[in-house]
């Protein structure tokens, strides 16, 4: 359990808001995220449109574009959850790649070549990409050699968003004194979402929605849709009093008197999750004080707002 500093102990009013895991299905759908297994063929935009159509929503957004030929983890934010897409758009990514060598190269030489690309690297986007073809710096966190069969090499790579694995294959080949190209690619992780945790297909979503609408069975849909709060798992948190929520939803900065408790890892200037006492995400903010500062101060601004997530009116307006 994370280390939490209690500033002011207070109960939350059960009449307002929802504990994320107790939201109604209708509330969950518009405040949820789907960890989708993108199939090979359609674009990320097309897949997102299909998800939106299944649920009859006006808005949906995906967490980082995958090329049509690439499969795997594609987080899709539903309706109100699109406000937090920036969190997983900026997150680290992990891929499993099958690379083909154009000549016979010893395994040890490939391993040695891969080691040269861990850390900061320079890349020019591939010709087929839709971004400006200028050199840019990206960070490779790790490259794990998995296996080699003939001229085909399987490896896992963890990298900064915007890294081109297709280009990385070419760079590894050049370092090994040959040519290489990407055969297949699958994303296995995007931020806090992985293929091992509630990854679902488009068919799963259609079936789950059918079971709910036609048979009043919520079980499968609750498995497919995760509360938007899952994206805050790695963010430092500040919990606020019920009486402070409405003003935050209307755009006010978070004042110290409205804070109930704070995680000890909050640092000034960093992105924080501003939470209700029911663990609902109220807003994303930028800390104006450290954890210790917030716990000791009697007044002042604890955090300015980056993005308000909760709608106005979920909690009542505070009155003196």
Domain boundary pick from 229, 254, 286: 229
Q: What is the mean pLDDT of each run of 10 residues along the chain (320 residues)?
A: 85 94 94 96 96 96 90 95 80 94 96 97 79 85 97 97 93 97 96 91 97 96 96 93 96 97 95 97 97 94 96 86
Is residue 317 in a domain? Answer: no
* pLDDT of amino acid 126: 75
Q: Cα–Cα distance between 273 and 283 in angstroms, integer?
A: 6
* pLDDT of amino acid 125: 81
84 and 206 housed in the same domain: yes
Domain boundary pick from 164, 190, 216: 190
CATH number of the domain that residue 181 is part of: 3.30.70.3190
* pLDDT of amino acid 129: 66
Is residue 320 in a domain? Answer: no
258 and 301 housed in the same domain: yes
* pLDDT of amino acid 218: 96
83 and 105 housed in the same domain: no
Runs of H (alpha helix) within the chain: 25-30, 44-55, 85-89, 107-115, 165-175, 202-215, 219-224, 242-249, 291-296
* pLDDT of amino acid 131: 66
E strand residue ranges, 174-270: 180-190, 193-194, 225-227, 237-240, 254-255, 259-263
Is residue 67 among the annotated active site residues? yes
Domain that includes residue 97, residue range: 93-190
Q: Cα–Cα distance between 52 and 202 in angstroms, integer?
A: 11
Provide the phi-psi class of 148: left if phi over 0, else alpha when psi is between -120 and 50, else beta.
Answer: beta
**Which tokens go with 70?**
């690439």
Is residue 319 in a domain? Answer: no
Domain count, the chain: 3
Is residue 26 in a domain? Answer: no
From the list 3, 13, 37, 67, the catalytic residue is 67
* pLDDT of amino acid 89: 67
CA gyration radius for the chain?
23
Task: Please tell me the pTM assigned to this model.
Answer: 0.89
Domain boundary pick from 159, 190, 221: 190
What is the distance, to the nearest Å, from the Cα of residue 98 to the centroid of all Cα atoms in its chain?
Answer: 25
Q: For residue 242, give the 3-state DSSP assignment.
A: helix
Nearest-10 Cα torsion for 176, 179, 182, 183: -110
């Amino acid at each position: 359990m994370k280390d939490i500093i209690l500033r002011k102990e207070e109960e939350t009013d059960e009449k307002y808001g929802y504990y994320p895991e107790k939201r109604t299905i209708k509330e969950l759908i518009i405040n949820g995220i789907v960890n989708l297994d993108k199939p090979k063929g359609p674009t990320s935009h097309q897949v997102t449109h299909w998800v939106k159509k299944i649920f009859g929503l006006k808005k949906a957004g995906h967490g980082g574009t995958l090329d049509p030929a690439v499969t795997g983890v594609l987080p899709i934010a539903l309706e109100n959850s699109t406000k937090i897409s920036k969190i997983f758009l900026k997150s680290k990514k992990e891929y499993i790649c099958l690379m083909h060598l154009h000549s016979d190269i010893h395994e040890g030489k490939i391993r040695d070549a891969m080691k040269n690309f861990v850390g900061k690297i320079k890349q020019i986007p591939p010709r087929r990409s839709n971004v400006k073809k200028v050199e840019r710096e990206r960070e490779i966190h790790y490259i794990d050699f998995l296996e080699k069969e003939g001229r085909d090499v399987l490896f896992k790579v963890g990298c900064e968003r915007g890294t081109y694995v297709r280009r990385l294959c070419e760079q590894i080949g050049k370092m090994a004194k040959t040519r290489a190209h990407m055969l297949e690619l699958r994303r296995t992780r995007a931020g806090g979402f992985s293929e091992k945790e509630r990854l679902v297909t488009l068919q799963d979503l259609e079936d789950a929605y059918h079971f709910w609408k036609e048979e009043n069975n919520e079980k499968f849909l609750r498995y497919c849709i995760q509360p938007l709060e899952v994206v805050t798992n790695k963010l430092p948190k500040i919990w606020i009093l019920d009486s402070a929520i409405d003003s935050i939803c209307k755009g006010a900065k978070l004042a110290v008197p409205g804070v109930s408790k704070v995680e000890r890892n909050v640092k000034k200037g960093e992105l924080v999750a501003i939470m209700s006492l029911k663990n609902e995400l109220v807003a994303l903010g930028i800390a104006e004080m450290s954890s210790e500062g917030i716990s000791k101060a009697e007044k002042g601004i604890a955090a300015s707002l980056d993005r308000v997530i909760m709608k106005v009116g979920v909690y009542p307006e505070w009155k003196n």
